[in-house]
Amino acid sequence: MALHDEEQRQLAEIERKLAEDDPQLAQKLTRLRPFGTPRAGLALLTMFASFVLGLAIVAIGAEVGSFVLGIIGIVLAVGLPTVLIWRLWLRRLR
């Protein structure tokens, strides 16, 4: 739900005052939005798509008997989501 112009202005003023009064608290509060950003949503969508595509490639590789396709599918289904989760976790710890 979008905020009206007046509400956005008031919120910006509150954020500015908080940043002036207690910059450390303001910085901590900005970090508390793990899934509030489009970037995190995009990362989740990428992980899910990678997992589904990887499973499909593993299934195709098993059907045609291709070891290479199986490895590629496993890397997509497990490796890429693991790397993305690891990067998100490290970013959250900072």
CA distances from 72 to 8, 42, 50, 89 (A): 47, 22, 11, 25
Give the residue among 81, 52, 80 at the shortest CA–CA distance from 60: 52
3-class DSSP state of 3: coil
Q: What is the pLDDT of residues 32-68, one digit of tens each?
A: 655 556 776 787 888 899 999 999 999 999 999 999 9
Q: Indicate the pTM of the whole model.
A: 0.54
Q: Report d(CA 77, CA 62) in Å as an integer.
A: 15
Distance (Å, whole) CA 66 – CA 68: 5
